[in-house]
Structure formats: structure tokens, C-alpha cells
Amino acid sequence: MAVHAHPDDESSKGAATMAKYVSEGVDVLVATCTGGERGSVLNPKLQGDKYIEEHIHEVRAKEMDEAREILGVKQAWLGFVDSGLPEGDPLPPLPEGCFGLQDVDEAAGALVKLIREFKPQVITTYDENGGYPHPDHIMTHKITMVAFDAAGDPTRYPEAGEPWTPLKLYYNQGFNKARTLALHEAIEARGMESPYGEWLKRWDEFARPERNISTHVPCADFFEIRDKALLAHATQIDPDGGWFRVPMDLQREIWPTEDYELAKTRVDVSLPEDDLFAGVREA
């Protein structure tokens, strides 16, 4: 189970990993916390389209359906309302009733119910920083941590179904500095302009400590599926933007994995890993 904040997050974080496991017969479910109702239209080719602006919730739901089909996964909505990304100094308050303002323990109940229904051995989500400090990403982390611990406990959320104990919890860490730097240097070595130059210059501004990347899943054969799924979220991605400026052959050669941080495990592991199910298969 991959727990994400908005439709499109599943296609930009761990999508090739999911497609790889689907190809091996693994049952994969994306849990999408919000509908992306307050998301902006980020594709310049679609900006100003009145229908999209007035029906962004429905449009993004259709985009999610297309991406789900491309990846071969199942998908469920948790039903929370997008918080939007507050901007300004000072930051404005979050809108009333949004996901970011929910009581964590109450909101986790919806995810506990889904875990007990789907029965995943492995769950992926964001770290405590949310991957980046969007209130919905941070709340996604919070409810996933609660749900991972509570789903197997019959005394917690008794109304949410029969207990089920997931075995491993990972944080998506695809946008790590080592990967970004390796791709940047390889692009420049080929005489091309890197889309990562400004990212690297600003990396220290984010004041994020380096993460403990424990798990590198080889999935280069599924990078094209990942990109196709991402492009299905047409309102959220510019097909001519930086996401797609790194040649596919270079990506496969320089960094053929998607990367994760093992946050919790109930099975014995030996790090580093190349499989989210390491230890689970043996158990």
C-alpha cells in the first residue's frame, strides 16, 4: 500500500517500483488522502481553461483513473479535503475543514480501516517532513504512522474491522541528494544543460538532514510507465518541463533504482536492501 496526499503524488514518488511489483503479481493499492481540490493547474498549456478551473476535483479524479490504469494498481480515496499550499509571510491559516487541520487520531481511522480491508504487508509514505513541507504531506505522514501501529491492535479502532498487522513501513526518498547530484554531473558530462542546477544550489536552503537511504529497488525497466502515468495528470505536469529533460538511457545507466528509507519493521532485515519485501518473503 502506497499512502499519498494528492492524486499525482503516486506517479512522481515510487511509481516505477509499484509497476515493477505489479508485473510480478503483487497486489498494490494506492491510498489517496485528498482529492487535490485546491491544487493549481501547473501545466501552462492548460492554464486559463475555465472548465478545468471550475471542475478541478472531477478533472483530477479522471486523471487519477488514467494513471491507475497505466500503473496497474488499485486506488482508494480516503475522502479528506485538500489543504492547499499556504504561501506568503506570514503564512495564512489553513482553510477550515481541510486535511491538514484534522485530528490525527480521528483521521487515522480511515486509513486503519483501509489497511484492515486490503491487508498489506508493506506500506510506503512520506517522512516527517512530508518530502516537502506541504501540510497534506505532513498530515499523510502523521496518520500513516498512527495507522501502522494501530491496525493490528484489536483494542484500537474496533469499528474499523478485523485487526491486520503490516510488517514494514518505508518513507519515499526518491529526491535524495546523491541521486540528484549523480544525474546532474552525468548530464553536464554529456554537454547538456542540467535541470538540477538550481535545485542543488538551493539544497542547503531547505535545511534538511541527509536521510538514511536503506533500500534501492531496481526498476529502470518501468521508468517509461512511471512517466506515462505522471503525464496522465495533465493539469499537474508540464510535458516540456524539467521532469522529462533527462534522457531515459542516462537515467537507466546512472540511477536505475527508486530509493526508500526503512522506518519500521516487524521482520528481521539486513541493510541495505533491494526489495521492499526483503524479510517478508522469508517470514
Q: In whole angstroms, what is the distance from residue 161 CA to residue 155 CA?
A: 11
The grid coordinates of residue 3 equal 499512502
DSSP code at position 92: P
Closest CA to 230 of 5, 3, 2, 14: 14
- Looking at this protein, which amino acid is placed at residue 4? H
CA distances from 71 to 141, 233, 274 (A): 23, 13, 20
List, in order, residues 6 or more apart from 148 with CB less than 8 Å away: 115, 123, 166, 169, 264
Size of the chain in residues = 283
> Any binding-site annotation on 57?
no
Q: In whole angstroms, what is the distance from residue 260 CA to residue 230 CA?
A: 19
> Any binding-site annotation on 184?
no
> Any binding-site annotation on 275?
no
Q: In whole angstroms, what is the distance from residue 6 CA to residue 30 CA?
A: 11
Q: In whole angstroms, what is the distance from residue 221 CA to residue 38 CA?
A: 34
Q: In whole angstroms, what is the distance from residue 147 CA to residue 96 CA?
A: 24
DSSP H helical ranges for 75-222: 104-118, 135-150, 177-189, 197-202
DSSP-assigned beta bridge partners for residue 123: 169
Q: At what angle do helices 104-118 and 135-150 cross, to 10 degrees?
A: 60
CA distances from 140 to 19, 31, 78, 231, 269 (A): 22, 10, 11, 23, 25
Q: Which residues are annotated as a binding site?
A: 6, 9, 137
Q: Which residues are annotated as a binding site for Zn(2+)?
A: 6, 9, 137
